[in-house]
Structure 1
């Protein structure tokens, strides 16, 4: 999981070999260590670093790095096993936005990514301080330093002057840079998991004497699961357990195990972890539960201090069925079947259900991880392992929480391009909704946010474990459909109707069958068959006839999938099993997916083996089959689209927006709602169109403003304002269709009377032209980051709840999805005869809102309602913005929790 502390706080991160280092600001007390690191450099490395071998250069550098904090200067150190092994610093120069950098790595720690990791953190710190470019002078022969800059992923310029070269690194965090950081993170992450999932030796600590104890169960599963590596038990009161030699402590073991499984009482977990770390253990699985805060902190501290990766606590354990390892360090009742599905869950019960289900289907498991309370190893880690292990063909997740959703989204999006990633969407209801502060906050449920994450990342989200297994069976055994057109074949007309309904509910389309295919079907089916869609093959259909019918449908270009619904009947020429064999005599991997439904089947889903070694999924009811097909269609559609790209936006004044926010929060330390003037100024920073308006604090000011702003029809609008007013319609705090001075004065006096003691002023606007009233908003989720919402607006926004959502930053495809997802979307494209609205203007509005939310983490929520969309343009009529004192956090910076 990822630490959300801002840059400047100590964090842990992984090097390329999987070892852990601590990145932190340099302190005065580091002086001796930094000086020693410089002085122990070889003469050649000293010359390359300081252009001289004089030891005085090392002392001056140490003095600068560890001296008193000065404005414009930042030094970070990398620390391993309590020793400083790298230093990176920058100092702001006279050139605006530019800083000079220095970098040094201790001899003996080169080629592990220490320098690159320090630079990544230095880049993040510099960007927070508004530094946009690094400069560095190096000897032209310093090829190692040149390679570090070149591989960083940032645009680098070089200027050679004799034997020296001046490098300029531009700190734009674009897609190229993020991808480079991501790839380095993947390499390091996978390396760090090898001692956990491919250990050379294993020790189980806390093996009890009583049969049925957790520790004994784990030892039993390791012994009987085919583990070929060395296995030890740790218990001070026994010499062996089930044929496994036992030792009184970790220090007494004949060798240091790569992996230790802890099944000790909660009170002993932290001390045991510390003992393991000091001994040199590389990874821990902690099945113990019930840790309090101090015990949890002690466990994590031991793991970070000694560089151990951790699964758990409060977990079922881990398993790897890879040949040569056969690691089953779980206390599950059954051995996992070797296979191709990677499984990561937080709930042990869900894990057992998935292990059993995948074994029953014959899919089996490549790697299994019960993450438990997920102190360290997360779903993100497991996705990267499955991406690299060469064995996993399906990824199944059950995650109750997300440590870093945006990093998880990038990883899942990349992995899902290669293998299907499926999850159970848990927690879809909320027992207690937080108080809604605006339309946006009311609409942005955690369910909507999570579904947005899944949709954008290409994750197949199911509602139940059963649905997850049903979908996994289809994706494991059949090709993806190229579209949503389905042909239903059945030997019972009523069953065909059920299947047709199920397909429609799953978003599938029953393909119309033309004359050519109808003739082909009539030629192969028994007399009385009805070749519509569904195709009623009648109860008299034989195995051979059904097989030929399915083959013709599979080969038809207007059909993307075939759903065969079979009902056992004594009237058929063949039994139900014979009819099923018609689907198995052909190739298991046809050009298009074929799915069976066997009404009365005693299991929800099974995989039927075909003659060539493939399989066909068979379901007990049409709804399950149709849902699985629907998920396959969605995955195919997602894969067919190119990855979205960020959009360049002109007219953005981010620095001015940040200054506005800083000024407001300096005056309102607890945050709050911006006044109309401040809202307008913020929108202007992002060039977001607004309806003209004026602020009035007296009746005469309102009359003057109305005369100046009135539209061609002479009508104006007055909106009351006071801090905290959210829903003007509910409070009857607006007057529409005002004409002339007398009506404006009457409206103003009405506000003064009804809102005495509250009213601080009135917003005056011309009456807007007719158009479609829409809603757009942003809410900053503390876990998921900014979420952009869009849908039908006006007073119906909350009643009809017609909104879609995407996580920011938005790409071009995200914006398209946002606009087309709500039920009101056809109106925007001209349905109803009014012509399409300004779609480009609508896209720009959403992209600019997304940019604003990403620039300003303090923007807790923004509510644009209504937004008026017309063929001639898009205009914001009313805006509410709430700020909270929050610090920026780089979600893509490499760091462990």
Structure 2
């Protein structure tokens, strides 16, 4: 165990390790590194522990921590000695330690091992604090090069051993002299990541459930002097809506014109406990004070209607951060600021903690919307269509509760069948992908984003910048099985179909139309949506009688070659009548065939197109304004059904991958390039080869060594200056060889003369050297490195490019394309966002428009695509596990009939700063 140097300079505080965490009971806590100023809090934590807990932690009963031990415990270097604390705050804002986790690196023969210890407050056992602290401590340890935790535990301390095992680690243990010695590697595994994701899922789902099922609500307004201000009117409206909804007992403080049925109080101290939810509409400078006053009531969630936070600038952002720090330390989740509110249908009535005084009918669609103004328009559109809602949440500026949290809840909610999200920004795309994929596997998720690229960041949203191509967000959505649409109109079109009709069983479409021209229009629309006509196109004359209608409808639905039906009825004279809608609804319910309709006079979810199936379940054929709207929604539903029915593959685990070795290499190279601190502590000097932001360009040898850790081997190339050197290398490695210029504009461009292949002898090589040097002379400054490279010839095949780029927002992005103009000039590049599965990799290769060249295009031999996929899989695993890999390019990767050879590679490193981890992001 490392000793403490009491005369050493204070260690740099790792603020990036701070995080707000949702616990197993749905409440929150703040996790941060320990500070010297925590001495009194740590002593108070120790004194409050039971004698048993103290004995299990220290193997002895200590009534108080000795001063020297206390000093050692709170003074750490955050490298070899690390300690994290979980803190909670009381109503006065005073932080109390409720859990401690620490490691001490073992010196000598095991520098990658550290001794770990935990202590959780007796008063807070069972909330999952130990699991959270282990998760965060392991992440911090991996950043510092620790790969294994060990601990000596008393046999009766089964709870601590259980925390290790339940975290998904492979724990070894042995008992000697009455002490159990345990050890486990802390590198993430499929099982440990699954455990973390499941813990996160259950905790966040429960925290949302606490909000949506609150039986007692307090509305806090600005007081009588501000009753006519926006905040005053918001508070009065919210209180009235809660009373009218009937789903909760309502208390008010500082609200004028209180609706009958609410219990008014002069102050928060007078409100009877417990209260689970608070709706707050006060001036922004008072919001933090109000949240502190809610703590004694046991409030678990706050719907913050007020504005005046991050969207107003630096002062507002600081105000928002302070409010969240107070709320999270007290175990409170925050919806907002600038929220329109929360609607949730419950068994006792509607929880209408919102500004909406005309809520939609109850139903089985869950909607999430960030923007308050757009929430108004969205609810009106829902009402016009007759769609019933299970929940509606407006997150405003999404400072805390986000769409990810709601998706966690909806994955387990039996009352919701379809989910729709309007997202102005996505703060954590990697987590979004992980959570959305889990939800999409059980129920459809329909998403609208404020911009197609994901680069739009409205005022008030704390989102990292991104330099990713606009198609990256599309790929994130596709991998996650999300149905992405262009606007809220399309979102509701798709939602009403998926909420009221079964998923399509296939792609074969039958059309029932009132004219040939309409039928042709529908045929074009369904084809554009990826569907195919079954051949059954039925015409129903405008003057058809009831018997003709029944016979025609029966013939369409009884056709065994039909999977889905599109019905269009737009008479030129007179009404549609009751028979056709009734017969279509009954036939759809009877056969289970997915049906959409565009019928004059009907829109949305209507009783005219509703019928019961044989089991008594009600089904409604959704009605659309135009046939194109109906076909578009049907196409989205069909693609989602195929995604859900398709095996999404398995996590990538290529043989011979050692990302631990890769991390060692990168850590060492970054340490060599770290800034050298000079006399002025605010000034840094960077060594040669390191850019001011800390990037490090790897040379060929280091790039090859890094790739070798994951089983990717680069065919060696040898720099040469002239023909003599070129011939000497060729004689050494064997003929034939390839000759390449190192001029960037001509590199890899055989079509421009920068690459000469199959050079068979000395005479040919000398001639090629002269020509290539002459070609590159105009492009290369004198003395700028070796102008040529000689390399052994690889088998002939298709040249491809595989790249990885670390984006501040999206994390690692893998791209693939075929070399040459197809990718460089025309942008024919496919993208994937790790972690990928084997199916994702296969789809990535096939997504490039030039991909048919790999599969025997126009008589060319098919190449070894499996070998190419193996290379991409290894790059994906490396990029996913190595945030410090700023960029990597394999160019070209030549794929032949038997194998794939990497002929060139380059890489850039930078200090890791990934937005996503298994830890919750710090406060906005």
Q: Structure 2 length normalisation: TM-score? A: 0.84
Aligned equivalents of 1:796, 1:624: Cα separation in 2: 35
Q: Deviations over 1:17-54 (max 9, x none)?
A: 23322222233343444344344433333443344446
Query: Is the 1:665–1:885 Cα contact (8 Å) retained in structure 2?
Result: no
- 1:497 correspondence with 2:517: no
What's 1:515 paired with?
none
2:379 corresponds to which residue?
355
Cα drift, residue 14 of structure 1: 2.5
Name stretches of at least 5 consecutive residues in structure 2 with no aligned partner: 1-12, 90-94, 310-315, 458-464, 613-617, 675-686
**C-alpha distance in structure 2 between counterparts of 1:664 and 1:161, whole Å:** 42
- 1:649 equivalent in structure 2: 654
The yes-or-no answer on 1:845 pairing with 2:871 is yes
Structure-1 residue corresponding to 2:319: 295
Q: Equivalent residue for 1:586?
A: 587
Aligned partner of 1:611 in structure 2 is: 611
* Distance verdict in 2 for CA 1:59–1:554, change over 3 Å: farther
The 5-angstrom pairing of residues 158-237 of structure 1 reads 158-161=173-176, 163-199=178-214, 200-206=216-222, 208-210=226-228, 213-235=233-255
Which SS does the other structure have where 2:237 is aligned? helix
Match of 1:743 in 2: 768
Change (3 A) 1:865 1:8: closer
- 398-407 or 641-650: bigger deviation: 641-650
- Residues of 2 paired with 1:840 and 1:377: CA distance? 43
CA displacement at 1:550 relative to structure 2: 4.4
Aligned to 1:597: 598
Q: In the aligned structure 1, how far is the partner of 2:240 from the partner of 2:16? A: 47
Task: Give 1:818 deviation, angstroms.
Answer: 0.7
CA distance in 2, matches of 1:673, 1:163: 53
1:559 CA displacement: 2.9
Q: What is the rounded CA distance, in whole Å, between the counterparts of 2:796 and 2:229 in structure 1?
A: 77
Counterpart in the other structure of 1:796: 822
- Give unmatched runs, 5+ long, in structure 1: 434-440, 512-531
1:211 is displaced (CA, Å) by 8.9
Q: In the alignment, which residue of structure 2 is the partner of 1:518?
A: none
C-alpha RMSD over aligned residues: 3.5
Determine the structure 2 residue equivalent to 1:470: 493
The question of whether the paired residues in 2 share the 8 Å contact of 1:710 and 1:765 is answered with no
Partner of 2:92: none
| Contact kept in structure 1, 2:169 and 2:185, CA below 8 Å | yes
Aligned to 1:34: 42
- 2-side partners of 1:802 and 1:884: how far apart? 28
Choose between structure 1 and 2 for higher RCO, CA contacts under 8 A separated by at least 6 residues: 1
Q: Give distance in 1, aligned partners of 2:812 and 2:854.
A: 25
Q: Distance in 1 between matches of 2:746 and 2:740?
A: 17
SS where residue 617 of structure 1 aligns?
Answer: coil
Please name the residue that 2:566 is paired with.
563
Shift of 1:88: 1.8
Q: Describe the shift of the 1:205–1:749 C-alpha distance in structure 2 as closer, same or farther (beyond 3 A).
A: same
Change (3 A) 1:762 1:558: farther
Checking the alignment, whether the CA contact within 8 Å between 2:538 and 2:556 is kept in structure 1 is no
Q: 1:153 to 1:442 in 2, by over 3 A?
A: closer
Q: How does 1:625-640 map to 2 (within 5 A)?
A: 625-640=630-645
Q: 1:324 pairs with 319, 327, 348, which one? A: 348
Change (3 A) 1:128 1:726: farther
The alpha-carbon deviation at position 824 of structure 1 amounts to: 2.4
What are the superposed Cα offsets for residues 313-346 of structure 1, whole Å, 9 maximum, x if unpaired? 1221222222325222222352232111111111
Matched, 1:412 2:430: no
Displacement of 1:457 after TM fit?
1.5
Distance 1:164 1:65 in 2: 23
Within 5 Å, give how 1:308-457 maps onto structure 2. Answer: 308-324=332-348, 326-332=350-356, 334-428=358-452, 444-445=468-469, 447-457=470-480
Are residue 734 (structure 1) and residue 735 (structure 2) matched? Answer: no
Contact 1:348 1:372 in 2 (8 A): yes
1:824 matched to 2:842? The reply is no
| Residue 11 of structure 1, CA deviation | 2.2
SS across alignment from 1:588: helix
CA distance in 1, matches of 2:218, 2:346: 16
- What is the aligned length? 856
Distance 1:363 1:250 in 2: 38
CA positional deviation for 1:615: 0.7
Matched with 1:103 is 118
> Distance between the aligned counterparts of 2:729 and 2:229, measured in 1?
85
Distance 1:211 1:568, change over 3 A: farther
Q: Deviations over 1:232-277 (max 9, x none)?
A: 1415xx5856775655544454667433323223344344444444
Alignment of 1:86-165 (within 5 A): 86-93=99-106, 94-95=109-110, 97-161=112-176, 163-165=178-180
2:53 paired with 1:45 = yes
CA distance in 2, matches of 1:220, 1:541: 52
Shift of 1:384: 1.9
